[in-house]
Structure 1
């Protein structure tokens, strides 16, 4: 997440729910636990996880909120607004973003950041590629004189955009060693190199293959599922018979499977971010968020009956 306004930014919508992410750096949330943070009480949102090097990690009430965390939140648009009213920083100062690579991706990134009001600088070896960017710095991004010219001390984010995965891995290692606190976002051409880039220190890896696969997944898989990011899914399922009639907290769904219940629908009524003491209704629908592996574990462990097509159409319509 580029910038430091601490606002919740929407990353997906499904079934009438909004999923957002929010950096906590600089907010009063840092140092509190999920339970003591006041997020649920002040906004109604649920913290359903945190991003950790591109992967969704589950949280529990005792999870400590740390300075470099990005929260994944679920709720309604109104609740997102309430969260921003309370936790968004009043006068955020966007730090400089360094873009390494002045090819097509780097140039597009720079223009998009400019439109968003975020200052950036491109570092590129070939002058002809960045003729339209007078502030671009010509040189090797691993050389100190080049970094000085690019005002690297003012930057908090580095976006690595070259099409050479090996080079991107080397650059990621270099910038992570240069400054541990850098937010590093790297392009990746080959899917097999995604994990290597994460291990090298990238906070977020944008894989052409993964982004393409996500788009295809959302087009061809049942419309009642939404793939938000790499391996993160929202999906509805009937309340399993073995859970019906029990309190949500007693079911320990998150602990057992890694999935989080973000809504319950029954008899035309939907409860968003349900209370842990709510009784799961027979014939109701659960809306869950989790990784693909967590979804598979939920379905394997609880074996819910397949939702009839009419129920899926209703869920999609309500969404």
Structure 2
């Protein structure tokens, strides 16, 4: 059974989510107050409508109560974002994800019951910063304020050594949760301590930000 989503606000962030969900075969209701943006998504989303999401009556008429997950991606209008989230909460939406403009906005959203608050610009900035530190850092995903998961490419310092040799958990406080060997398609989830790492293998590492930072600087460095 297809899951149903609604995306409110079709700017860069909301539009990107709408495109991706639609490409994955999901039912998507796209909502925006601007006609040109709605027209852009008429042939992409399942339904695209011009509507004011701060109006409870309008939301009810759109059948928003039947939607599994609503993403509030309203741009610079913080008041509209908060009011929309509040309306959705009162209508009993199962899951509400909201784009926050700043930390104050996030605090308000959390207080009124948003299930997930995202900072796309800030989070993308962090990911880019980590990729700048080393070409071997492929991705960085924030799990919470203090914990992250990183995808790294093993360099010369790790090559030919086992997880026991590297002792990443004891030395850095991080855990290697999966390895994708360079010469295999399969991902090795929960690898054995005797697993030998080769240069070019992809490691998925989880841990506290301060520990990951130490791990990145001391072990995941660019080869000379």
User: Under TM normalisation by the shorter chain, which class is it?
Assistant: 0.5 to 0.7
Counterpart in the other structure of 2:185 = none
- Cα distance, 1:289 vs. partner? 2.2
Pick from 136, 157, 161: which aligns with 2:69? 157
Q: Deviations over 1:47-94 (max 9, x none)?
A: xxxxxxxxxxxxxxxxxxxxxxxxxxxxxxxxxxxxxxxxxxxxxx22
In structure 2, the residue corresponding to 1:136 is in which secondary structure?
strand
Q: 1:260 aligns with which of 175, 196, 201?
A: 175
Deviations 1:171-216 (A, max 9, x none): 334323432622x222233466456545542425142232133124
What is the number of equivalent residue pairs in this alignment? 197
Counterpart in the other structure of 1:175: 88
Does 1:141 find its partner at 2:74?
Answer: no
> Is 1:274 paired with 2:191?
yes
Which position in structure 2 is the counterpart of 1:119? 27
- Work out whether residues 234 and 289 of structure 1, in 8 Å CA contact, stay in contact via their aligned partners in 2: no
Looking at structure 1, the residues matched to 218 and 40 of structure 2 have their Cα atoms a distance apart, in angstroms, of 56
Q: CA RMSD in A?
A: 4.5
Shift in Å at residue 121 of structure 1?
Answer: 1.6
Q: Which secondary structure state, in structure 1, belongs to the residue aligned with residue 65 of structure 2?
A: helix
Question: Unpaired segments of 5 or more residues in structure 2?
Answer: 143-147, 180-187
Correspondence for 1:94: 2
Is the counterpart of residue 214 in structure 1 residue 127 in structure 2?
Answer: yes
Please report the TM-score for the alignment, with normalisation by the length of structure 1. 0.46
Give distance in 2, aligned partners of 1:222 and 1:119.
39
SS in 2 for 1:117: coil
Q: What is the SS of the residue equivalent to 2:68? A: strand
CA distance in 2, matches of 1:127, 1:198: 31
Q: Is the 8 A contact 2:10 2:30 kept in 1?
A: yes
Cα distance in structure 1, aligned partners of 2:73 and 2:30: 10
C-alpha distance in structure 1 between counterparts of 2:97 and 2:109, whole Å: 10
- Structure 1 residue corresponding to 2:209, chosen from 283, 292, 295: 292
| Aligned counterparts of 1:186 and 1:206: Cα–Cα separation in 2 | 9
Partner SS state of residue 168, structure 1: helix
Return closer, same or farther for 1:308/1:125 CA change in 2, 3 Å cut-off.
closer
Q: Is the 8 A contact 1:228 1:234 kept in 2?
A: yes
Q: Is the CA contact 1:123–1:136 (under 8 Å) kept in the aligned structure 2?
A: yes
The one of 88, 94, 99 aligned to 1:187: 99
| Runs of 5+ consecutive residues of structure 1 not aligned to the other structure | 1-92, 265-270, 300-304, 315-319
Does structure 1 retain, via aligned residues, the 8 Å contact 2:68–2:93? no
> Secondary structure of 1:162's match?
coil
Distance 2:164 2:28 in 1: 53
